[in-house]
Chains A and B, each alone.
Chain A
Amino acid sequence: MMRFLLLFSRQGKLRLQKWFVTIAEREKKKVIRDMTSMVLARKPRSCNFLHWRDLKIVYKRYASLYFCIGLEDQENELLGLEVLHRYVELLDQYFGSVCELDIIFNFEKAYFILDEFLMGGEIQETSKQIVARAIESSDMLQEADSSDSDWVEVELFGWP
């Protein structure tokens, strides 16, 4: 299962954190520090996997954002990459050409989407449509949001 999922910027600023197991605050800080420094130090054309303590770290960069998960030993690294990819797809579907600012200004929405996608460190729902429906139904009463998402910015998918 997954132990945590972190989103951070190229400058090492944390954008989203999700912990699937109980971890002490100090330990969380250490993980975040280690992840940002390790992942940001990776050279281009390196593989997307790292080891950290007994965990497998899988990370991927989408535009200016790094998505990073800590997997337990038996997990499949390639599948981890696809978990990240599907999450980005879900964000993209919700925000429409998602960019880092969408996530900064609407981070709570990013959390809600994540909660529909993952649960207890495991995949809960892989279908884009079903996640969208679930989010929609709980958003129902939500105000039609301001023009935040119309800002012109580099899309996460715009990068190779």
Chain B
Amino acid sequence: MSDVVEKTLTALPSLLSLDSQSGSGKLSSTSKLGSLIRGITELTSKHEEEKLIKRELVAIKEQVSSPNTTMRQMKEIMVRAIYCEMLGYEASFTYIHAIKLAQQGSVLEKRVGYLGVSLFLNESHELLLLLVNTVLRDLQSTNLIEVCMALTVVSQMFPKDMIPAILPLVEDKLAHPKEIIRRKAVLALYKFYLIAPNQVQHIHSKFRKALCDKDPGVMTASLHIYLLMIKESPDVYKDLTGSFVTILKQVIGGKLPMDFNYHSVPAPWLQIQLLKILALLGKDDQSTSEIMYDVLDECLRRAEMNHNITYAILYECVRAIYTIHPKSELLEKAVKCIGNFVLSPKINLKYLGLKALTFVVQQDANLALQHQVTIIECLDHSDLMIKRETLELLFRITNGQNVTVIVEKMLEFLRFSNDDYSTIDLVGKVAEVAEKYAPDNGWFIQTMNAVFSLGGDTMQADIPNSFLRLLSEGFDSEEEDRHLRLFAVDSYVRLLQEDPAKLPQRFLQVISWVLGEYSHLRDDLEATTVTRLLARLLDLNHTSNETRSWVLTAMMKLCEGPACAALVQQVCDRYTGSLDTVLRQKAQELQHLSQDAELRSRVMTRRCTLEPLEVDSSLSFLDGFVSEALAAGAAPYKPPHQRQEELSQEKALSLEPYGLSLPVSLSSCCISDRQSPTLLSVSSGNSTDPSQRAAPTTLKLDGVKRVWGKQGYLAQKEVVEEAAQVEGPSPLLSSSQQGSADSPQTQTPTPEPDLQRQQLASALFVGLGAQNAVCLMGKTDAVPQRFRRKPRGHGSSSGSVERSSLSSHSLLGNNLLDSTNIPSDEVVSPKNTERTPDLTATNGTCDPEETPSPDETAAHVLPLTSGIGMETMEPATHTDPDRPRNPCLSSHLPAELSGMARSDIAPLCSNRSLALSACTVSTEDTFLLILFVSNSSDSDVQHLLLQLTCTGELEVSCLSDGAPEELAGHGVAVYKYSLVMKTPSPQVELAGVVSYEMPLGEPQAAQFSHRLYLTDFIRPLPVSTEEYGRMWLSYTHDTKQNLKLVQDDQDPLTATLNALKEKLQLHVVDIIGLEGIVACRLLQGQPCLMHCRVHDNSLAVWLRSPVLELPDCLLYHYQKALQEH
């Protein structure tokens, strides 16, 4: 090829000389550029090129500044200047001339001027202001070409602030008789919408006019804007669904002029744009989705031609089908379509097939099974892009059984990859699945070692942070924790003994921390040995000062005994004089601590228990010092976020931290208290997807042939009874079905894979298949997670409201699956508490309305557990009107409680003879639970005994003395309990058992449970602003979060606080401008203070309390209250 160029270039001189001979003005312009180009191609070195261009630029400079240069010459000069810039040489002196040319030139010269402007300048360039008038004039020109040029340059780059100046003119163009002008105007507005959406807000109605334009081209252009707007708020545009469907139908039906065809496919760009819009509109919306099923089906059917463009449409169609509310028939077709992509010999299609598969396996992991062979082939593909995409796919189908193989493949790729961006991404993914599905401690540590080594210092900061938190906070079993830590220690000691020089800094920091903290767990490991290993790190050349300070901190924890002390002394001698202040301080500390064993044992307590150290993070012991300083005229302290806000308001430099380094906070053992890093891993967003999408996906298996079994690669295939499998998947069922290999289904011919591949396939795809239906219900929950974080960790780490669903799950702690019940319970109960006082006030005795109606109670029914000897439950007993069930219990309420605010009486459990109901009564300083045991049989019940089993969080004291042992027929016994929440928790389950004997019967028992929420135990704390200020300073545990603001035109802050007050009993202390302070307390317990501030469209909330868990738990309820608002 290059010799072809060579040949052409040798032919050039003669052609060019021809030009110069002619000498006419027209041709000389070409020849000047031509000779420049020729000159450059003849050069042999970069240096010569530089010289030539410099000469050229000097010549250009001379010409442009000469008053005799005509616009026509200027045009030619401009082209040369553009060329020089393209080669990477600056010609900034021509910029102003480009603007002049656009201003003063004739149409053709103007065009080059505009081109120069759009290539030289960008949006924020100050010279651009000089162009505004030219654009204004050209927009009003009668010459269509000038108008077109102006619109083009406006859409290319226009100063944001000047948009209002030209907006009316551009708007007017929407009504221009020429469609090309209308189209360009729409696209210019699209560009404005992108860079300054609020400037074009008032012309949304005009967009609608453009959408209805009689010219399809203008309509197509308007879809760009609609796609953006629908992405932002799909609900507003649902009414347009029908129109979009109609348009797409017409396009597919070939109703557009031939001009719109591309390789005989009707308007493919338009089709794809419409498919994208439909996908957004139909997402999570069944009725809207139903409108588009037909057209999607037709779209799939029509796109048959074997051309790239039809595949592009098909791909978009498949994405739409899998985004909207599912329809089994369409899904089936889409899956078939994906199959064609994946199996295609064309590599581009294969790549997109993998992408589509990655997209759909998030909803149904089994779809991957059909393409096992291809996936394994792609895993070894020579093209890294294909390999990378395959790993992405595998990442989505990772489960507890295949995690080791998949992680191995990912690490293998990482070792070869030299692209930072994909390394960072993949490292995050490995860390994520490793933490989620680690089969054992050894593997986990090894994998994380690989992550740290390969991820280097570019990986997301939260990977080492969360790893260390995992180690320090521990999991469910103490023994396991110890085991894991020991493993880490062993592995790190080995690494340090080998060649620590090649390890990245981040990894060294992790190692230092772990060794400092846990090396004492290994009895046969001398502290001196570890200290020596660490000291070696200090000596390495490439060790950063940050790492060194981690090492010194680790040494502080280790220095014990005289041998150590000597070593430490050496280190200290070296670093107490360091130029780095942090290092110097650390070295000083180390020196003092190593010399004073008593002080050290006090400061560096070894945390054998999981109890967090109490750290006074508000530094209240410095209050005296502070007040002295203030008295002496020092400026009061402003917290960093406040300073930052003020700075940003002043449009100063952004002081956002680039990353968080936590050596100090980690090493000073205040794990519980430190601010968790807010950096979210790029990949973590993905991880929540499967569980969030879980609910609507269960149906999607319908009609999908399950070709592969859970053991992976199976020679035989069977058709699975879809519905049954999905509904009640059990390992037994699936294995027995796999056994039935004699199913009469036809066997599709599969290429005989070699043994190795077969093994790989079964390793990769194990765990998918029949029993995977369980995972679909909630992939993350169903698989036992090895390292389940303690609730505390999550509560403080969840960074945003969007993640509230995640944090709420973990906060619930004990029973993840129950969480689905909460919303309905929660919505009803507070409302009822408010309503009932009126009823009881007007009518203290039996009121027929008082009995909860079936509908209402339905929401209250709590999971019933059948009693030990209890007869089978009758379904929906309380809805049966014939039975004298749930008599008017309110009349049995203790006299002293009548007239107080209380919740509805909710049935807890019942059987033929006994029914249990409960209600709660809240007063200023108590929270009472009233239990009613009613005997619904005719005979007496004997040996009645009610026992509540309380969990650690609750303290229950029985207030009713001498509870009856017997209960006459249709009698009611009332029990009164006072409850106090000892340890804050978002919700607690109060379980109990009532045992009794029927005459002439066996002893019987019934179990029941009742759920209580933190909100029941929260009371307002009436304090003054001054008291508040004092309290604020003295509390140590705090949490910050951004909450959703309630939309309110007048005062969003007050509206939000009112919304919170509706659900929780809070005391709003004061509202000053955009800030508010709120106080509440736990019943008979500690207070919690909240400081909130409106910031952008959210409420920055800062909670402080003397109790560790309270802020987190309250935040959980705040979020919930606001979500329900």
A residues with a Cβ closer than 8 A to B are 1, 10, 14-17, 19-20, 22-24, 29, 43, 45-53, 63-64, 74, 76-79, 81-82, 85-86, 100-101, 104-105, 107-108, 111-112, 115, 119-120, 122-127, 129-130, 134, 137-138, 141-143, 145-148, 151-154
The answer for the CA separation of A42 and B267 in the assembled complex, in Å, is: 32
A47 and B386 form a contact (CB under 8 A): yes
| Chain B residue nearest in CB terms to A19 | B122
Is B26 in contact with chain A by the CB < 8 A criterion? yes
Q: How far in angstroms is the closest Cβ of chain B from A107? A: 7
| Chain B residue nearest in CB terms to A143 | B26
Residues in chain A near residue B352, CB distance under 8 A: 77-78
| Chain B residue nearest in CB terms to A52 | B421
Q: How far in angstroms is the closest Cβ of chain B from A143? A: 5
| Chain A residue nearest in CB terms to B106 | A141
The answer for the CA separation of A14 and B8 in the assembled complex, in Å, is: 19
Residues in chain B near residue A145, CB distance under 8 A: 30
The answer for the CA separation of A137 and B108 in the assembled complex, in Å, is: 11
Within 8 A of A (CB), among B191-238: 191, 194, 217, 221, 224
Is B145 in contact with chain A by the CB < 8 A criterion? yes
| Chain A residue nearest in CB terms to B386 | A47
Partner of A148 from B30, B86, B194, B348 at Cβ < 8 Å: B30
Within 8 A of A (CB), among B167-196: 180, 183-184, 187-188, 190-191, 194
Is B262 in contact with chain A by the CB < 8 A criterion? yes
Residues in chain B near residue A112, CB distance under 8 A: 111, 115
| Chain B residue nearest in CB terms to A46 | B383
18 A-B residue pairs with Cβ-Cβ distance under 8 Å, sorted by A, are A20-B156, A22-B122, A45-B383, A46-B383, A46-B385, A51-B388, A64-B5, A81-B348, A104-B37, A112-B111, A119-B184, A120-B187, A125-B183, A125-B217, A129-B259, A137-B144, A138-B145, A141-B108
The answer for the CA separation of A123 and B87 in the assembled complex, in Å, is: 27
Q: How far in angstroms is the closest Cβ of chain B from A123? A: 5
Residues in chain B near residue A45, CB distance under 8 A: 347, 382-383
Within 8 A of A (CB), among B1-56: 1-2, 4-5, 8, 11, 15, 19, 26-27, 30, 33-34, 37
The answer for the CA separation of A146 and B22 in the assembled complex, in Å, is: 11
Q: How far in angstroms is the closest Cβ of chain B from A67? A: 15
B187 and A14 form a contact (CB under 8 A): no
Q: How far in angstroms is the closest Cβ of chain B from A125? A: 7
Residues in chain A near residue B149, CB distance under 8 A: 138
B1 and A64 form a contact (CB under 8 A): yes
- Which of B311-319, B826-834, B884-892, B982-990 lies at the interface? B311-319
Residues in chain A near residue B190, CB distance under 8 A: 120, 122
| Chain A residue nearest in CB terms to B350 | A47
A134 and B260 form a contact (CB under 8 A): no
A141 and B267 form a contact (CB under 8 A): no
- Which of B268-276, B503-511, B600-608, B874-882 lies at the interface? B268-276
- With A22-B157, A74-B276, A148-B30 known to touch, is A124 a contact of B183 (CB < 8 Å)? yes
A79 and B386 form a contact (CB under 8 A): no
- With A46-B383, A124-B184 known to touch, is A137 a contact of B145 (CB < 8 Å)? yes
Residues in chain B near residue A85, CB distance under 8 A: 308
Residues in chain A near residue B315, CB distance under 8 A: 76, 78
| Chain B residue nearest in CB terms to A9 | B5
The answer for the CA separation of A125 and B347 in the assembled complex, in Å, is: 29
- With A51-B421, A108-B115, A125-B217 known to touch, is A82 a contact of B312 (CB < 8 Å)? yes
Residues in chain B near residue A43, CB distance under 8 A: 382-383
Within 8 A of A (CB), among B306-355: 308-309, 311-312, 315-316, 347-348, 350-352
Q: How far in angstroms is the closest Cβ of chain B from A77? A: 6
Partner of B122 from A23, A48, A76, A101 at Cβ < 8 Å: A23
Which of A20, A45, A74, A146: most chain B CB closer than 10 A?
A146
Residues in chain B near residue A10, CB distance under 8 A: 1-2
The answer for the CA separation of A104 and B86 in the assembled complex, in Å, is: 11
B421 and A119 form a contact (CB under 8 A): no
The answer for the CA separation of A23 and B157 in the assembled complex, in Å, is: 11
Q: How far in angstroms is the closest Cβ of chain B from A113? A: 12
Which of B112, B149, B385: most chain A CB closer than 10 A?
B385
The answer for the CA separation of A10 and B640 in the assembled complex, in Å, is: 52
Besides A78-B315, A152-B8, 8 more A-B contacts (Cβ < 8 Å) are: A107-B86, A112-B115, A120-B156, A125-B217, A138-B108, A141-B108, A146-B26, A152-B11
| Chain A residue nearest in CB terms to B179 | A130
A108 and B79 form a contact (CB under 8 A): yes
Residues in chain B near residue A19, CB distance under 8 A: 122
- With A46-B347, A47-B385 known to touch, is A82 a contact of B308 (CB < 8 Å)? yes
Residues in chain A near residue B86, CB distance under 8 A: 14-17, 107
Partner of B312 from A14, A79, A141 at Cβ < 8 Å: A79
- With A51-B422, A52-B421, A134-B180 known to touch, is A119 a contact of B155 (CB < 8 Å)? yes
Residues in chain A near residue B348, CB distance under 8 A: 47-49, 77-78, 81
A122 and B187 form a contact (CB under 8 A): yes
Residues in chain A near residue B148, CB distance under 8 A: 134, 138
Is B1079 in contact with chain A by the CB < 8 A criterion? no
| Chain A residue nearest in CB terms to B258 | A127
| Chain A residue nearest in CB terms to B155 | A120
B385 and A124 form a contact (CB under 8 A): no
The answer for the CA separation of A154 and B202 in the assembled complex, in Å, is: 53
Residues in chain A near residue B272, CB distance under 8 A: 76, 79
Within 8 A of A (CB), among B101-154: 106-108, 111-112, 115, 119, 122-124, 144-145, 148-149, 152
B224 and A122 form a contact (CB under 8 A): yes
Is B974 in contact with chain A by the CB < 8 A criterion? no
- Give the 10 A-B residue pairs with the shortest CB-CB distance, closest first: A78-B312, A127-B259, A120-B191, A22-B123, A46-B383, A120-B155, A47-B351, A79-B312, A119-B187, A47-B347
Within 8 A of A (CB), among B60-88: 79, 82-83, 86-88
B191 and A82 form a contact (CB under 8 A): no
The answer for the CA separation of A134 and B184 in the assembled complex, in Å, is: 12
B267 and A126 form a contact (CB under 8 A): yes
Which of B5, B86, B184, B194: most chain A CB closer than 10 A?
B5
The answer for the CA separation of A43 and B381 in the assembled complex, in Å, is: 12
Residues in chain A near residue B87, CB distance under 8 A: 14
Residues in chain A near residue B194, CB distance under 8 A: 120
| Chain A residue nearest in CB terms to B191 | A120
B388 and A79 form a contact (CB under 8 A): no
Residues in chain B near residue A78, CB distance under 8 A: 308-309, 311-312, 315, 348, 352
Q: How far in angstroms is the closest Cβ of chain A from B632? A: 47
The answer for the CA separation of A116 and B433 in the assembled complex, in Å, is: 48
Residues in chain B near residue A153, CB distance under 8 A: 4, 8
Residues in chain A near residue B217, CB distance under 8 A: 125, 130
B30 and A105 form a contact (CB under 8 A): yes
Residues in chain B near residue A16, CB distance under 8 A: 86
Q: How far in angstroms is the closest Cβ of chain B from A122? A: 5
